[in-house]
Amino acid sequence: MKTALLSAFLLIFSGALFGQAFVANYDEAKMPAYTLPDPLLFNNEQPVKDAVGWTKRRAEILELFENEVYGKTPTGKVHLAFRVISENREALEGMAIQREVQLTLEKDGNTLLINVLLYLPKAGKKHPLFLGLNFSGNHTISDDPGIAITNSWVRNNAAKGITANKSVESTRGSDSASWPVRALIERGYGLATIYCGDLDPDFDDGFKNGVHSLFPGPRSSNSWGTVAGWAWGLSRVLDYLEKVKEVDAKRVVVLGHSRLGKAALWAGANDPRFAIVVSNESGCGGAALSKRIFGETVERINTSFPHWFCENFRKYNRKEEDLPVDQHELLALIAPRPLYVCSAEEDQWSDPKGEFLACAAASPVYKLLGKEGLPGKEFPDLQQPLTGTIGYHIRSGKHAINLYDWTSFLNFSDIYFAKR
């Protein structure tokens, strides 16, 4: 009864959210039969037998995701410069250093400015660190009055007093519940975050602003979209973190929630320097299997957010069965590095079961590489994390990233970093 009510609510909610008649399926019995592509079979159907074979197969899968889902990230040298714009060495009652750093990315005379907000424990020398994009500006993650309000484009929101796509003072600290900085510092971890809109504002402008301004030129059906732009930016921040003396760049966890979780996964797949990858409720185009057609679908995401993926992804609107890849293979691209995926019970739009099954279906690749993958095949109870080289939890509650989630990421990261 409770589940039926929840489903009805989600159905109406997601339809209303996009102002269109869209009926999402929340009934396992109504899902189509589907077959997942086998990550351990080459495109020519020959089996992958060992780690050397996997390197070749990995390149095939990466190329399929580039051409059919996220788009190809342009190549070409981008020059990186940085300057510290503020520093507080007594943050969090003297426990942490809080630093804002402006990165200038320059290519062929075009520049992009991005602001990194860093927190580092004062005790100790080199720290492991979480790196993640935020939704609304660095100033929203803490109520500290020293953090600059973002100058980048933000979505208008009358309730918050944002009317001219410019953020306002009253939003300071508005997302602090998603960023428990003190808990991280107490556990010996640093944090680096940047506003996703510094890299690419989250609206469809025909790929002109943000990262796209660094790579102008004709676009094609496999040109990158915003999710790939965000992922690329995470790697540029890692380039910078490699130069920060208080950061152990070999222990950087890339993480993201929801659309920013999709970006974290694609960043982790492309950039092996990320030691651990964390996806929080990343759903469709993230950790959830597309072929299940449960919750958000390929057609729905391409319609609501036409700028997120490459044009080719639209070929699979209502044709998920034709997709040559599915999201378990995105997770497999992270192997053998530790990966943690989490879902929330009331977030059926992101298809928790589909996220869990993707972890299970990525596991044979981990096993081939001598790692455990996801332990167990049963969908776990609420608040019962599964912890192998792939970790997974589903918690009670809504679509959000909260202290329970972060505590689980910390516990997971502790295990793998202690082993080094």
Site residues, ligand GCU (CB under 6 A)? 258-259, 283-284, 296, 301, 304, 349
Other Cβ atoms closer than 10 A to 381: 8
My answer on whether omega of the bond before 336 falls inside 30° of 0, hence cis, is yes
Cα distance between residue 235 and residue 131, in whole Å: 10
Residue 38, C-beta contacts closer than 8 angstroms, at least 6 positions apart: none
**Minimum Å distance from CB 376 to ligand GCU?**
26
Based on the residue annotation, tell me whether 399 is a catalytic residue of this protein: yes
**Minimum Å distance from CB 279 to ligand GCU?**
10
Cα distance between residue 171 and residue 87, in whole Å: 21
For ligand GCU, which is the closer residue by CB, 185 or 196? 196
For ligand GCU, which is the closer residue by CB, 309 or 416? 309
**Minimum Å distance from CB 47 to ligand GCU?**
34
For ligand GCU, which is the closer residue by CB, 43 or 157? 157
For ligand GCU, which is the closer residue by CB, 144 or 281? 281
**Minimum Å distance from CB 281 to ligand GCU?**
7
**Minimum Å distance from CB 301 to ligand GCU?**
5
Residue 289, C-beta contacts closer than 8 angstroms, at least 6 positions apart: 34, 36, 326, 327, 328, 351, 354, 355, 357, 358, 361
Q: What angle is formed at CA 373 by the lines to CA 368 and CA 379, rounded to 5 degrees? A: 135
Based on the residue annotation, tell me whether 221 is a catalytic residue of this protein: no
Q: Compute φ and ψ for 248, nearest 5 degrees.
A: -90, 95
> From the candidates 152, 167, 223, 258, which is the catalytic residue?
258
292 and 351 Cβ atoms separated by less than 8 Å: yes
For ligand GCU, which is the closer residue by CB, 101 or 298? 298
What residue ranges in 122-246 does DSSP mark as E strands? 127-134, 190-195
170 and 160 Cβ atoms separated by less than 8 Å: yes
Cα distance between residue 170 and residue 163, in whole Å: 13
User: Catalytic residue positions?
Assistant: 258, 399
